[in-house]
Amino acid sequence: MMHAMRRAMKSGLACAGLVGLAAAMSAQAAAAQAPNWQTYSYSTDGFSASFPTQPEVQKKNVDTDAGPFELRTYIGTDGAVALIVGVCDYGNATAGKNPDDVLQGAKNGALQNVSAHLLSETKTTLGIYHGLTVEAESDQLHFSLRIYMVGSVLYQTLVVVPLGKPYGDTARFLDSFQLIARTAP
């Protein structure tokens, strides 16, 4: 069961990483617009975050050894940059699990699935909840990632930029992520 759990956690974040990669690549082809930063709130997923454009919401079912999970991604762009919040509720699959172990599995799966190598990693928190701050790179992209385990929900905030082209608003986006009261869908 522990092996299945690790694969489930890896699959959720890895999927968001792949969505981010695709969004970053398609954003490179889009014409740059002046960003109009606004805070968007999503009470059914329990968060708010500031984006430079209205995020596109995508839903995808991810099949894992621990069963299917729905991954919801909120993707905004700023020129060639993709800004992403991913949300995956693992339900009872994380019951009794150490949140740090779940976060490590998610991080490792994401790096593996986007062929990225770790540059840095630090533990962080969001209020009382465990999290990780990660910097990673692939051959073409740089990833700035914060992931949090909030009960059974894995939240992922991610900025994807072309390699060698830092984004001045990375901290602005990542710092804007806040938990809000969740409402039923």
For residue 142, how many other CB atoms are within 10 A of its CB?
21
Question: Which residues have a Cβ under 8 Å from the Cβ of 163 and sit 6 or more positions away?
Answer: 137, 138, 139, 140, 141, 142
Q: What is the pLDDT of residues 84-140, one digit of tens each?
A: 999 999 888 888 889 999 899 889 888 987 899 999 999 999 999 999 999 999 999
Percentage of residues in the chain with pLDDT exceeding 70?
79
DSSP 46-102: TEEEEESSPPEEEEEEEEETTEEEEEEEEEEEETTEEEEEEEEE-GGGGTT--HHHH
Q: What share of the chain is helix, strand, coil (3-state, %, to 5)?
A: 30, 45, 25
For residues 165-181, average pLDDT: 97
**Predicted local distance difference test score (pLDDT) of residue 105:** 86
**Predicted local distance difference test score (pLDDT) of residue 11:** 41
User: Worst-scoring range by mean pLDDT, 19-23, 48-52, 87-91, 158-162?
Assistant: 19-23
Task: With a cut of 70, say whether residue 81 has pLDDT above it.
Answer: yes
3-state secondary structure of 106: helix
Q: Which DSSP symbol is given to 32? A: P
Full set of structural domains in the chain with CATH? 2-179 (3.40.1000.10)
